[in-house]
Amino acid sequence: MESFKILLLIAGSISILFGYLRFLPDEEGNIDLNNYRFTGGLGLVIRGTYKGTHDLLLGKISSNAISALALYVGIILFIIGFKI
């Protein structure tokens, strides 16, 4: 049971990291290091999650929607991993 819990937590971490890192690059694949250095790109992540959630609710599949879904799946896996 303990190894299943660890597996869920690792899968949740990877999913959250995948979703977080997909929000940071711009259309050309570049990351603005000045923005990332001081805030960790938190504004980009919050805005991207909002737009992605909006797209998910409308039924659109965009890159923001996939990233937001990855964040939500990671959070759910974390909750399940800590509950068992």
Asked whether residue 75 carries a pLDDT value surpassing 90, the answer given is yes
pLDDT bin (cut points 50, 70, 90) of residue 36 is: low
Domain spans in the chain, listed from the N-terminal domain onward: 2-83
The answer to whether the Cα torsion of 84, 10, 39, 46 is positive or negative is negative
Angle at the Cα of 22 (from 30 to 41), degrees rounded to 5? Answer: 70
Confidence (pTM): 0.83
Three-class SS state of 50: helix
